[in-house]
Structure 1
Amino acid sequence: MFEAKRIARLKWACRRGMLELDVLLLPFVEQAFDTLTFAEQETFERLLTSDDPDLYAWFMGHQPCLDPDFAKMVTLVKSKIKLGQ
């Protein structure tokens, strides 16, 4: 389980330069991050080290994510955070 300080850094890392990413990433951490396994949490943390244009392309479906762990995490985030609710 992630400690509070690590969660705070994670929330800060979710603040991106694109609104489209902000509305996915931060709500995911606040609403669903605790339900992930430790390995999934670490994968999400690593995912956040990706560049914004790559994250945007993956989340919007403009290009496939070649890293299978990241691809699985993108799908998981999208399934947990429903926009327009």
Structure 2
Amino acid sequence: MDLVLQPFLDDIYPTLETADQERYHKLLECEDQDMFGWFLRRETPEDPDLQKIVQIIRDSRSRPG
């Protein structure tokens, strides 16, 4: 998970609104295997807050640069 989350934490997290930062902390409470499925687009979290932060992370990984 570090390979996915560390670049996000370094580059994107500081720019997030407070609500999205709270969603990120909620995400960290999830099981690694669940997050793995979400980031590989095999599954989608049921929780709307988790859906939003997972999408933000997915989008950040697909940006060039």
TM-score normalized by the length of structure 1: 0.69
The one-character-per-residue Cα deviations of 1:49-74 (angstroms, maximum 9, x if unpaired) are 10011101111111121001101111
> 1:24–1:78: 8 Å Cα contact kept in structure 2?
no
- Bigger Rg over Cα: 1
TM-score normalized by the length of structure 2: 0.87
The partner residue of 1:43 within 16, 19, 23 is 23
Identity of aligned residues (%): 31
Question: How far apart in 1 are the matches of 2:10 and 2:61?
Answer: 10
Unaligned 5+ runs, structure 2: none
> 1:47–1:70: 8 Å Cα contact kept in structure 2?
yes
AA aligned to 2:60 is K
RMSD of aligned Cα (Å):
1.8
How many correspondences in the alignment? 65
1:5-84 superposed matches below 5 A: 21-82=1-62
* SS at structure 2 position matched to 1:81: helix
Unaligned 5+ runs, structure 1: 1-20
Flag the structure with more relative contact order, 1 or 2, with Cα contacts below 8 A and sequence separation at least 6: 2
After TM superposition, the runs of 4+ consecutive aligned structure 1 residues lying more than 4 A away are none
